[in-house]
Chains A and B, each alone.
Chain A
Amino acid sequence: MADEVVLLDYWLSPYGMRLRIALALKGIEYERKEEELNNKSPLLLQSNPVHKKVPVLIHNGKPICESVVALQYIDEVWKDKAPLFPSDPYLRSQAKFWADYVDKTISGFARKLWSGAKGEEMEAVKKDLFDCLRLFEGELGDKPFFGGETLGLVDLALLPFASWFSVHDKFGTFSLEAECPKIPPWVKRCFQMESVSESVPSSDQLYDYVVKMRNSRQE
């Protein structure tokens, strides 16, 4: 029986981006349905009644919600190609820890950066963000990716947010290169992979989007 895979998504969702990359890495064919966040489809509300959020992976009619849960599901079901989670239980626990850390901290900073915080408040957010990213730099070490030679769970968890931070770089809010020099080259390496470049908007594309949004608000 052919698998039917549907992804309920929103193009800017960093959590949706994680699943797009995973599905591409595994070579899984799927149908992507773009959701309007202020006009959620009946399918979304039915598939994720608890949180009513994207992304939702629907595999042969059965929904899986929460991006890290879905990533683990994808890795367990399509286990013959591009493993995302380490096979060693200890290394697996470490990868989960770092992915969880992205969700506990980085996502919050991302929100605050775009919230229009100014002055001292903004400086505090930036400092916390850089301290956090430096921990990730330590975890990356000299490896090309967090997953080693190939992309793994932590790469997928962090990359969508890191892509957004590079946009701030372009706006001159801060210099990621100066503060966390290992991060921009890691982002670049990730984007050299087709599974990433075809799944995730580049920071150039995100930058253009933000500029367009700001211009249209001024009209």
Chain B
Amino acid sequence: MADEVILLDGYVSMFGMRVRVALAEKGIKYEYREEDMRNKSPLLLKMNPIHKKIPVLIHNGKPVCESLIIVQYIDEVWKDKAPLLPSDPYQRAQARFWADFIDKKLYDAGKKIWTTKGEEQEAANKEFIEVLKVLEGELGDKPYFMGERFGFLDIALITFYSWFHAYETLGNFSIEAECPKLISWAKRCLQKESVSKSLADQKKVYEFVVEMKKRLGVE
């Protein structure tokens, strides 16, 4: 039976991008459906009634929600190609821990940058950089987070790269100046087609954030 894979997503969502990268890594054919967060489709509300958020992967009619859970599901189902998680249980635990760290810290730190001004924004910039520096420390001198191969943890973080231009412009600071190793890592990831084709255009992300600021009244 041919697999039917649908992805309910939002172009600028760094969480949605993670799923796009994973699907591309595995060479999985799927139908992409763009959701408007201000006008959610009946399908989205049915498939993710609890959180009503994207991304949602619908595999043969069954929904999987939460981006990191989706990426792990993809890795387990399409296990014959491009393994995303290491095979060693301890390495897997480390990958999951750091992906959880990214989810706990990075999004909120980033959001503070574009929703605040003045001193509050400077503090937000600093907090964001601190989080990136911890991750940079974890990367060390390795080409990718788990070693020689691009995988789960790289996917968890690289999608935030498409938002860096927006954070830098609105926060008036340079991420590359503070975290040069992380930027080299990002550029290395971008050489992979699965990444470069899945990440949103950073100018479009910037325009989106500017629009959000207007809507939220945080100019």
Contact = CB atoms under 8 A, between A and B. Distances in A.
Nearest to A95: B69
Interface stretch (B19-27, B87-95, B193-201, B207-215): B87-95
A186 to B, nearest CB: 20
A73 B101 contact: no
B134 interface: yes
B72 interface: yes
B93 A92 contact: no
Nearest to B95: A69
Q: Chain A: interface residue count, which band?
A: 20 to 34
Most buried by A among B50, B93, B101: B93
A104 to B, nearest CB: 8
Interface string A94-105: 001100110000
A72 B73 contact: no
A77 interface: yes
A65 B62 CA distance: 31
Contacts of A159: none
Most buried by B among A64, A97, A100: A97
A90 B77 CA distance: 9
B70 interface: yes
A93 B93 CA distance: 16
A15 to B, nearest CB: 13
Contacts of B66: 96-97, 100
B72 A62 contact: no
Given A50-B101, A90-B62, A90-B64, A69 B93 contact: yes
B219 interface: no
A93 B70 contact: yes
Contact of A93 (B50, B64, B90, B96): B64
Contact of B72 (A64, A93, A101): A93
A72 B93 contact: yes
A55 B182 CA distance: 30
Contacts of A172: none
Contacts of B108: none
A76 B91 CA distance: 12
Nearest to B138: A50
Given A64-B90, A69-B100, A89 B69 contact: no
A64 B77 contact: no
Contacts of B100: 66, 68-69
A54 interface: no
B107 interface: no
B176 interface: no
B97 A69 contact: yes
Contact of B73 (A65, A66, A69, A93): A93
A77 B91 CA distance: 12
B65 interface: yes
B76 interface: yes
Contacts of A90: 59, 62, 64, 73
Contacts of B65: 97
A134 to B, nearest CB: 12
A89 B73 contact: yes
A97 B70 CA distance: 10
B64 A70 contact: no
B73 A73 contact: no
A66 B93 CA distance: 9
Given A62-B90, A101-B50, A135-B50, A93 B97 contact: no
18 contacts: A59-B90, A64-B93, A66-B96, A69-B96, A69-B97, A70-B93, A73-B93, A89-B76, A90-B73, A92-B73, A93-B64, A93-B72, A93-B73, A96-B66, A96-B69, A96-B72, A97-B69, A100-B69
Interface of B: 50, 59, 62, 64-66, 69-70, 72-73, 76-77, 89-90, 92-93, 96-97, 100-101, 134
Interface of A: 50, 59, 62, 64-66, 68-70, 72-73, 76-77, 89-90, 92-93, 96-97, 100-101, 135
